[in-house]
Structure 1
Amino acid sequence: MGIIDYFLSLGSTVFVPLVLIVIGIALGQGVLRSIRSAITVGIGFIGLNLAISLISNTLEPAVSKIVERFSIDLTVIDIGSGAAAGVAFSSVVGALIIPAVFILNVLLLVIGFTKTMNIDIFNYSHYAFTGAVVHLMTGSIVIAMGASLIQATWSLLSADYSANQVQEALGVEGISIPQGYAASTVPIFTALDKIYNRIPFLRDSKLDLSHLQQRIGMFGDPVIIGAALGTILALLAGYNFVDGANLLMGVVAIMVLFPRMVKIIVEGLLPISESAKIFFNKHFKGKEVFIGLDSALTLGLPTTQIVGTMLIPVTLILAVILPGNKVLPLGDLAFAAFFTCMATIIHKGNILKTIISGVINMAIILYISTWFAQYFTKLAANSGAVGIKGETTALWNGNIFDLIIAKLGSFGVIGIVILIIITIPIGLYVKKVTASQKAV
């Protein structure tokens, strides 16, 4: 735990640049160029963290006010992803997860089962949570670690599958998104996209930001859209003029700052990406290796921010009207953009498709996080990390990979064998898809 705490204490702004320096030097980029690229990426992450804290400081109080004002009464409290990750890393599985996933990742790269090297260790907490739940169910640390490693593998395969789309959307080659939650949404959003393409109204929809701006001019500008969304949230929260104006400015700042910070990260990644292409073309006959990064990198896309902000009141409505839901969205609700970021990429920035997918996904999240509440509450009590009485959970838990693997993992060895049998053909299919994408 001491070693894990040390690595986690470095934060993405230090750990990721350190890893990128090593990668840059290994790729023959040169020491000074590697340092410059890595530090530029670190600066971008500092900017992203400031923008994320702006979400917390600006939107979380508004969410609490809306919940209070409309007397939304649900029994399971969403304590947010930060506390949830702490609970996951405080488990027995959490103490082993970082070295175990790292070793697995290297082995899968060597045998060619994945192209992604996941350096986003702070989100290994998703794998730790799944393993911790399976440990509660079975009492076996071996079965629990097996479940965690299978989820890590699924995340890598999901990252490989969506890498081409991620690179196209962000304008950077050689990266992918294996982040524990974002990766789990790729199959859902891909399936929905195939359904939309069979519906003429949705298939022919051109409602992306550039189309919106062409049709309605300045009203399609992110600043104006942010001001409108901020006004709606202020009215729902019952804010006075001063508080409402501050909320409006905060929402607009989020819309503007995220893309600027992502551009800084991209500036640092581009030289590393070019060096990687030259290195692998020279030494490995063009073999691709992707650097796996946090999904925060995708939040600079305007559609993600627009739909993410719209989903705040929509999710509260869903929480009230969905039969069987017990979760009161609080801690993670302000960060709804994280839950829909891959929809923007898969739907190529189409706002209409992303809104529909976002609503469907938030409903799924509420139901899954409700199911996990019984286990999360026990884990939180065991860790001593959460001081809230009653049942707790996090929207962060509403992960379809978590659910499938935990359900099958509860059957012990048989469940793990089934998961391995499922994983092999998935890996072969992803390899075939990514090979065809490269050929194109």
Structure 2
Amino acid sequence: MGVIQWIVNLGASVFLPILLFIFGLILRIKPGKSFKAGLTVGIGFIGLNLVIGILTTNLGPATKLMIHNYGLHLQTIDVGWPAASAIAYGTALGALAIPIGIIVNIILLGVGLTKTLDVDIWNYWHVAFAGSILYMLTKNMWLGIFCMIVVTMFTYFFADLSAPTVEKYYGLQGISFPHGLSAPGYVFALPFKWLFDRIPGLNRVHIDAETIQKRLGIFGDTTVLGAIIGLIIGLLAHMTVAKVLNLAVSMAAVMMLMPRMVSLLMEGLTPISEAANSMVKKHFPGRKLYIGMDSALAIGQQSVLSASLILIPITLLLAVVLPGNKVLPFGDLATLPYFFALFAAVFEGDILRTVIAGAVDIIISLYVATWFAPVVTKLAIAASFNMGGNSSISALSDGGLWTNWIYLVIGEKFQWWGLGALFLIALGLLIWLKNRDAKQMEKIEKA
């Protein structure tokens, strides 16, 4: 456990390159090429974190000013995913999520019930978060462990189900997103796609980043759009002219730099992905394999970023007007691109549809995060987390995730029976997806 915790503490930008280097050697990639690929991915993550840091550093003061100017006095602070992940891995069960996730992945790959080979080990914190909360609610360690298994199975189902859309829209060949926050968004967005396609008028409108740029010229450019959104947020925060302009340039920088950092990630992943698929074709003809990666690969896409920046002031407004909400959005405002990474793929880059469906998702997240606040606060105290003087904390990310609410409400109320039912549902969905894909492959071969 000490070794696992040490690996976790390295962070994704360090241990992921090491893991990819070893994986590359297993795939018989030359050591030099494998090392360069892993190192490039690590550099990409560092660059991505720097850009998100720019977003967080500049949004933080603007958010605080808006809170002060408009008298927002919500009692629970959203501490964001960095704090939530630290809390999740800092609990008694937290570090167990990594070996549990790896074992479940190996078993499912072995029996052919998933196509995802998950190398995104650090993001097992999403699994740790759910299992630790159920342990906190029930005081049953084994129930918490079983919850981690169930959550992992659903995550691989979401990843496999969304992988073809991820490949088609983002051009990420052989990549899937077994990401606890982003992957459920694919399933959430599907009913909205069905609905939007049947609303007269809306079903004929498609507003993506390219359309906006074509119609608005320079004002539709995503970098300029970022500057405009920064100006609006700065003005809403009643900042000085100098600070408003600084925020505008910073938001423009995020819009320009984020896609470039993602391209670095892809540059490193490409040789690993190609070698993995070549190995699968050679040893398992007719079977496809996805490399499971962080959805950070998608957050730099222009429609994702544009919709997420538009949703920042909308999120704050919803927090104020929704009756019964107690959560003040803060830490996860800069994380919104992860929320909507797969929304944009489902809606084929339509910013309007992403914003509408995203606003509904935020409403649900605020209420779920409010419901989770007492137990997240207790979990933070148990993990010796410094709450910065706040008496109540939550997180819009995993603390507001609708799937976590389902897992934990059922797990707490019905315990073994409830989680057993969810286990069977997850198993049934994985079998259904395997059979569906097999039938589709047969049709393609016959054609």
User: Do they superpose with TM above 0.5?
Assistant: yes
Q: Partner residue of 2:426? A: 423
Q: Partner residue of 1:392? A: 393
Aligned-partner residue type, residue 419 of structure 1: L
Task: Give the Cα–Cα distance (whole angstroms) in 1 for the partners of residues 438 and 358 of structure 2.
Answer: 29
Task: Give the Cα–Cα distance (whole angstroms) in 2 for the partners of residues 435 and 42 of structure 1.
Answer: 36
Please, which moves more after superposition, 334-343 or 249-258? Answer: 334-343
Q: 1:165-198, CA deviations, whole angstroms, 9 ceiling, x for partnerless residues?
A: 1122332211111111111222111221122222
Task: Give the Cα–Cα distance (whole angstroms) in 2 for the partners of residues 42 and 378 of structure 1.
Answer: 34
Cα drift, residue 436 of structure 1: 6.0
Tell whether the 8 Å contact from 1:60 to 1:334 is kept in structure 2 after alignment. Answer: no
Q: 1:150-175, CA deviations, whole angstroms, 9 ceiling, x for partnerless residues?
A: 11111111011111111223322111
Tell whether the 8 Å contact from 1:281 to 1:287 is kept in structure 2 after alignment. Answer: yes
Task: Give the Cα–Cα distance (whole angstroms) in 2 for the partners of residues 342 and 362 of structure 1.
Answer: 15
Q: Partner residue of 1:46? A: 46
Specify the SS of the correspondent of 2:54: helix
Q: In the alignment, does 2:406 pair up with 1:404? A: yes
Q: 1:278-306, CA deviations, whole angstroms, 9 ceiling, x for partnerless residues?
A: 21111111322211111111111011111
Show the 5 A alignment for 1:2-401. 2-387=2-387, 388-396=389-397, 397-401=399-403
Tell whether the 8 Å contact from 2:227 to 2:250 is kept in structure 1 after alignment. Answer: no
Tell whether the 8 Å contact from 1:88 to 1:132 is kept in structure 2 after alignment. Answer: yes
Aligned-partner residue type, residue 404 of structure 2: D
Q: Report the TM-score when normalising by structure 1.
A: 0.96
Tell whether the 8 Å contact from 2:75 to 2:326 is kept in structure 1 after alignment. Answer: yes
Specify the SS of the correspondent of 1:291: strand
Cα drift, residue 24 of structure 1: 1.9
Q: 1:50-99, CA deviations, whole angstroms, 9 ceiling, x for partnerless residues?
A: 11111111112211111111111112111121111111112122031111
Please, which moves more after superposition, 40-49 or 247-256? Answer: 40-49
Specify the SS of the correspondent of 2:339: helix
Aligned-partner residue type, residue 349 of structure 1: G
Task: Give the Cα–Cα distance (whole angstroms) in 2 for the partners of residues 437 and 332 of structure 1.
Answer: 39
C-alpha change, 1:320 and 1:399, in structure 2 (3 Å) is same
Please, which moves more after superposition, 206-215 or 150-159? Answer: 206-215
Aligned-partner residue type, residue 405 of structure 2: L
Tell whether the 8 Å contact from 2:12 to 2:42 is kept in structure 1 after alignment. Answer: yes
Aligned-partner residue type, residue 206 of structure 1: H
C-alpha change, 1:305 and 1:425, in structure 2 (3 Å) is same
Tell whether the 8 Å contact from 2:157 to 2:426 is kept in structure 1 after alignment. Answer: no
Q: Report the TM-score when normalising by structure 2.
A: 0.94
C-alpha change, 1:434 and 1:198, in structure 2 (3 Å) is farther
Tell whether the 8 Å contact from 2:368 to 2:405 is kept in structure 1 after alignment. Answer: yes
RMSD after superposition: 1.6
Cα drift, residue 202 of structure 1: 2.8
Q: Partner residue of 2:417? A: 414
Cα drift, residue 363 of structure 1: 0.6
Task: Give the Cα–Cα distance (whole angstroms) in 1 for the partners of residues 240 and 352 of structure 2.
Answer: 32
Cα drift, residue 394 of structure 1: 0.9
Please, which moves more after superposition, 151-160 or 121-130? Answer: 121-130
Percent identity, please. Answer: 37
Task: Give the Cα–Cα distance (whole angstroms) in 1 for the partners of residues 343 and 201 of structure 2.
Answer: 18
Task: Give the Cα–Cα distance (whole angstroms) in 2 for the partners of residues 204 and 335 of structure 1.
Answer: 30
Aligned-partner residue type, residue 393 of structure 1: S
Structure 2 unaligned spans of 5+? none
Q: 1:206-228, CA deviations, whole angstroms, 9 ceiling, x for partnerless residues?
A: 21111222222222101211111
Please, which moves more after superposition, 320-329 or 30-39? Answer: 30-39
